[in-house]
Amino acid sequence: MEESGMTRGKSKYIVVFGCGRLGASIANLASSLGHSVVVVDRNEYAFHRLNSEFSGFTVVGDAAEYETLKESGMEKADMVFAFTNDDSTNFFIAMNARHMFGVKKVIARVYDPEKIRIFEEHGIDTICPAILMMEKVKGYVVGSDQD
């Protein structure tokens, strides 16, 4: 059974950077599917978004610091999500995950659509809220002549 690219088969080691609404949702989902999950955020209060069934670990630290990346156990990660609220920090996390730690599947949130190409040139999958919103709105605009 496949959900959001994560399968119920083999357990994965997943590191999520940023415990905002999106990061917490991904961490909660991955944990509920039986994966080993580590969530990193510089604000300890952010972990309140993790549900009571969350069975993973949390690390309080600055994702822009190499020591924090090491503390997350990234060297054994199957998948890394860079979901902080800063494109530069997400790029730092993603580049280190991919090139220093050899993580095969790296996904980064990118706020500025013009930066997507830079991430993707390095084999980093991206999610851009602005583009997702534009695609959704475009559907309304294009379909509006049917009202």
Residue at 37 is within a domain: yes
Comparing CA positions, the residue from 31, 27, 123 lying closest to residue 83 is 27
Residue at 1 is within a domain: no
Residue at 73 is within a domain: yes
Residue at 3 is within a domain: no
**Number of domains the chain is built from:** 1
The pTM score is 0.88
As given in the structure block, the two tokens for residue 74 are 């990234």
DSSP bridge partners of 81: 16, 107
**Mean pLDDT, the chain, as a whole number?**
91
User: What CATH number should be reported for the domain holding residue 51?
Assistant: 3.40.50.720
As given in the structure block, the two tokens for residue 94 are 């993603």
Three-class SS state of 13: strand
Domain limits for position 43: 9-146
Residue at 4 is within a domain: no
Residue at 2 is within a domain: no
Positive/negative CA dihedral, 71, 118, 84, 81: negative
Residues 11-63 pLDDT 10s = 999 999 999 999 999 999 999 999 999 999 999 999 999 999 999 999 999 99
pLDDT category, 9, cuts 50, 70, 90? low
Residue at 103 is within a domain: yes
- The residue type found at 117 is R
Residues 50-83 pLDDT 10s = 999 999 999 999 999 999 999 999 999 999 999 9
Residue at 63 is within a domain: yes
